[in-house]
Amino acid sequence: MTQSVLWKRIWRHKLLYVFMLPGIIWFFLFSYVPLFGIQVAFRDFKFSGGFTGSPWAGWKYFEQFFSYYQSLDLIRNTIIISLMKLLIGFTMPILLAILLNEVRNVKFKKTVQTLSYLPYFVSWIVVVTLMQRILTPYGGPLNDFLSSLGMEPIQFLNNTTWFYQIIVGSDIWKNIGWNSIIYMAAIAGIDQQLYEAAKIDGAGRLRQMWHVTLPGIRNIAVILFILSVGSLMSAGYEQLLLLNGPATSAIGSVLDVHVISAGIGEGRLSYAAAVGLFQSIIALILIVTVNRIARKVSDVSLF
Amino acid sequence: MKNKRVKSTSLFLAVVLMAGALFGCSSNNGDGKGNTSSNNGGTTNSGNANKEVTLKVLHNWNGSTGSDVDMTAVEKVIKEKTGITIQWEYTKGSEVEKVNTIFATQDMPDIYTGPAWGGELDGIIKAAKEDQLVDLSDKLDKYPNLAKAIAEENVPPALYEKAFNAYGGKQFLLYQNHPATPEDAMDWLYGFYVRKDIAEKIGVDPQSVHTKDELYSFLKKIKDAGLSENGMPVIPLGGFHDGWAVGIANTMFYGSGYIDKGDGTLENSFFTKAYEDYTLYYRKLLAEGLLDPEAFTQTDPIANEKIKQGRIAVLAAHYPAILDASKDYVKAHPGSDYVPVGPLERAGAAADRPVDLGIQGNNVTVIPKKSKNVDAALRLLDYLASDEGFLLVRYGVQGVHWDMENGKPVAKKEWFDKFTEDTTGKLRKNEGISIGLESMSGQDRINSVGGGDIWADQERLAAMDNARKILRPNGISVISAYNAGDVIMKSDKWETLKPSMDKIGDVWKVAIFAKSDEAALKVINDLRGQMNKTGYQEAIQFTNENLKGKEVVLLQMPN
């Protein structure tokens, strides 16, 4: 395509490009401009020197992180929590989308959809405050219910026994509706003739689901899985910052919170940038690797 | 034609939408008079004396709040006297994070005031060393009230050396609320306080509790009594936000942050057997349900709710905080006021020894170089630090809220009754008292100049006096010796050691929640290993060499 043809096509669709522009500007400002700050990880950041005027420090802050006695624990905890969220949190929205697709009562379907989207818009601080109120052993409704059944009150929060269940469960509750939207859209795009053909071939609803719906959303699921793998080194700082306590620190301290507390809490901005950069590089390697595997196995890939 | 018009309109709307989105993303507060004008780069503006100006003041105290009115009566007087209108910013969240954020993002106020200790002070010292603050050394001769507050004799020696006289003759920090005279010294009466009615119910005299074992038994008796309030169990021991200050029984195990190893050299208490015993003691309290497990993760509103519902039997904190938090419950349930437990034993201290307290100021105030009018900022601070300014911010407007009778401020009855009635404190704030101005009013002269807090109600004063008699039977002794914690910071290993030492508090909390004593000790030993790896041994050796022959703090109670 010659350059003039390209410009002609852009001009023809100029309205669509104008609508894209805020998104492009957003990405440029918040995802590309900050890349300039990566150099802080290799500098001794000074307030007076800023990004470009602070003295170079080489690999000093990376060495500090890897000689930190809890660095391996932090990496391990991050991966475990992310893996759990990935494996369970990735499949649940697909399940919800498929189930909703099977619901024939439109009013019920729309109500469930709306209710499942709502938690996504509630901030973690509100979610955690609600959880504290509901789960407290001192007069919380859940423990009151357990007591009425003759059971002993349970300390749900700040307790290693319940930590993973609460982290993964609350994450799914908050995101399942929102994450299912894209699958709902993919399902809506499946040619209805395929279902009719399946019916003629004698397929029941489960068979249709298995042979039509799932293959219909396979591509989008693979793409989203590849993208999700990129966040394997990031377990979600808001949730963990709020739900991790001293009792669960051994399994709940993650890299994201470590970066925030070192950078903003202790003022070690270069160190925090180094740890953050380490996370990003691992994420990039993971995405490239999984993308390559996906391309070989299923012919679906991001790039 | 019509199609073209629709297209043009759509394009226009899209552009407006985009522009709106971008404008919404900008960080401008939009008030037009905020911290936007920084055009004089911190230079003085002497030609503008008393010209009307608005200054943005950051009051860096988590949870501090201002008034609900545009300008309080006190602020109106300040404007009349100095020409300055104050635009407040209060911190919601960690003070240390706020300090680091304002300098890292360069989003600075015209005046900063915040805690004179901990990571907040470290952040300010770092900013001073990195040329972010206005050097006041050549300006202080024009502002005598400020000069007085940071004279060497008016700042604790170690703090003076560490934060005030540490920049080769330059002067960046102002110091607030250091007692002007011994009679102004504030003893916050930190301790364990029990609800009187609960102590009576379990039949234990709180003054009979002295040792660690007696404190444990006391809490156990409360638990075993199976008390409940509003259908919920009463928690034997609790505190306020993030565990403040349930850990203060540490003084029953070791004297201060650094202890004498017996050979005249110092060791950080974290490395001692006493610290292990202290940790295991608290682990036992937690494991047996004597200490509120939510105490370390709760916020102040949740802590206050528990207290207001009467669900905490023993509180560990300073007494004014306990009196404030329990005011409503006590009003509704006479006889349920919190009274002191003890006095408790102190590790390494003779029974007749006065209580060793570090009495010091509480705020450092600085003017960032980006301040839009340095002279105005200094004029404001100097006025607030004068006797007139001090009385204004502490007591309100003379003639309106109080009168001077026989050279002594006396509260107007009408306002005294109103303030006493208002348990929220909002009424005071709406008049301009306790909105943050008190953090910038120079030396504390509440008794020497103010004749004693005129707004304190008699019951509160009586409760404080009673607690003082019980907890300070031998009086207090103000610490003037060197603190090893201030010296170790000068070691060349400090940069690598500090991140490890900053973890001590967090690690203690993790240890007391450990599944077993062995696991708790492992948590402590792991951090000890990291501290050694990051230069603790060299740093403590440096500290010992520097403190040889000097009087060092070995006993200190919280204050």
Report the candidate in B81, B83, B28 with the shortest Cα–Cα distance to residue B51: B83
Output the pLDDT for position B17: 57
Output the pLDDT for position B279: 98
Q: Would you call A266 and B509 a contact, using CB atoms and an 8 Å cutoff?
A: no
Interface with chain B: mutation pick from A52, A138, A145, A238, highest number of B CBs within 10 Å: A138
What percent of chain B has pLDDT above 70? 91
Q: Give CA–CA dist A159/A161, Å, rounded.
A: 5
Q: Give CA–CA dist B520/B514, Å, rounded.
A: 5
Output the pLDDT for position B479: 87
Q: Would you call B100 and A139 a contact, using CB atoms and an 8 Å cutoff?
A: no
Residues of A in contact with B22 (CB under 8 A): 22, 25
Q: Give CA–CA dist B95/B84, Å, rounded.
A: 26
Report the candidate in B245, B205, B190, B232 with the shortest Cα–Cα distance to residue B476: B190
Interface with chain B: mutation pick from A237, A249, A268, highest number of B CBs within 10 Å: A249
Walk along chain B (559 residues) and give the pLDDT tens digit of each residue. Answer: 556 666 666 666 656 655 554 444 444 443 333 333 333 333 333 344 567 899 999 999 988 999 999 999 999 999 999 999 999 999 998 899 999 999 989 999 999 999 999 889 999 999 999 999 999 999 999 999 999 999 998 888 778 888 898 899 999 999 999 999 988 988 999 999 999 999 999 999 999 999 999 999 999 999 999 999 988 899 999 999 999 999 999 999 999 999 999 999 999 999 999 999 999 999 999 999 999 999 999 988 899 999 999 999 999 999 999 999 999 999 999 999 999 999 999 999 999 999 999 878 999 999 999 999 999 999 999 999 999 999 999 999 999 999 999 999 999 999 999 998 887 889 999 999 999 999 999 999 999 999 999 998 888 899 999 999 999 999 999 888 888 998 998 899 999 999 999 999 999 999 999 999 999 999 999 999 999 999 999 999 999 999 999 999 999 999 8
Q: Would you call B94 and A262 a contact, using CB atoms and an 8 Å cutoff?
A: no
Output the pLDDT for position A146: 95
Output the pLDDT for position B499: 93
Output the pLDDT for position A71: 96
- Beta carbons of A233 and A283 less than 8 angstroms apart: yes
Q: Which of A48, A245, A266 sits opposite B130 (nearest CB)?
A: A48
| B111-115 and B53-59 beta bridge pairing | parallel
**CA-CA distances (angstroms) from residue B136 to A46, A79, B121, B146, B184?**
22, 51, 18, 10, 27
Residues of A in contact with B16 (CB under 8 A): none
SS (H, E, C) chain A: CCHHHHHHHHHHCHHHHHHHHHHHHHHHHHHHHHHHHHHHHHECCCCCCHHHHCCECCCHHHHHHHHCCCHHHHHHHHHHHHHHHHHHHHHHHHHHHHHHHHCCCHHHHHHHHHHHHHHHHCCHHHHHHHHHHHHCCCCCHHHHHHHHCCCCCCCCCCCHHHHHHHHHHHHHHHHHHHHHHHHHHHHHCCCHHHHHHHHHCCCCHHHHHHHHHHHHHHHHHHHHHHHHHCCCCCCCHHHHHHHCCHHHHHHHCCHHHHHHHHHHHCCCHHHHHHHHHHHHHHHHHHHHHHHHHHHHHHCCCCC
Q: What is the pTM for the complete model shown? A: 0.85
DSSP B411: E
Please determine, for the modelled complex, whether the ipTM score is greater than 0.85.
yes
Instruction: Using CA coordinates, name the residue in chain A closest to B499.
Output: A266
Q: Give CA–CA dist B441/B177, Å, rounded.
A: 7
Report the candidate in B249, B256, B307 with the shortest Cα–Cα distance to residue B280: B249
Instruction: Tell me the residues of A at the B interface, defined by beta carbons under 8 Å apart.
Output: 14-15, 18-19, 21-22, 25-26, 29, 45-49, 64, 67-70, 132, 136, 138-139, 155, 157-158, 245-247, 249-250, 262-269, 271
What's the burial of B416, exposed, middle or buried (CB within 10 Å: 0-12/13-18/19+)? middle
**What are the backbone dihedrals phi and psi of residue B482, each rounded to the nearest 5 degrees, phi first?**
-75, 145
Residues of B in contact with A273 (CB under 8 A): none
Output the pLDDT for position B162: 83
Q: Which of B15, B232, B296 sits opposite A18 (nearest CB)?
A: B15
Angle between helices B300-308 and B319-332 in degrees, nearest 10: 40
Q: Would you call B510 and A68 a contact, using CB atoms and an 8 Å cutoff?
A: no
For residue A102, give both structure tokens.
Answer: 């099977």
Radius of gyration for chain B, computed over Cα atoms and rounded to the nearest angstrom: 26
Residues of A in contact with B296 (CB under 8 A): 158, 245-246
For chain A, what is the largest distance between any 2 Cα atoms, rounded to a whole number of angstroms?
78
Taking 50 as the pLDDT cut, the residues of chain A under it are none
Residue identified by tokens 């399902």 is A187
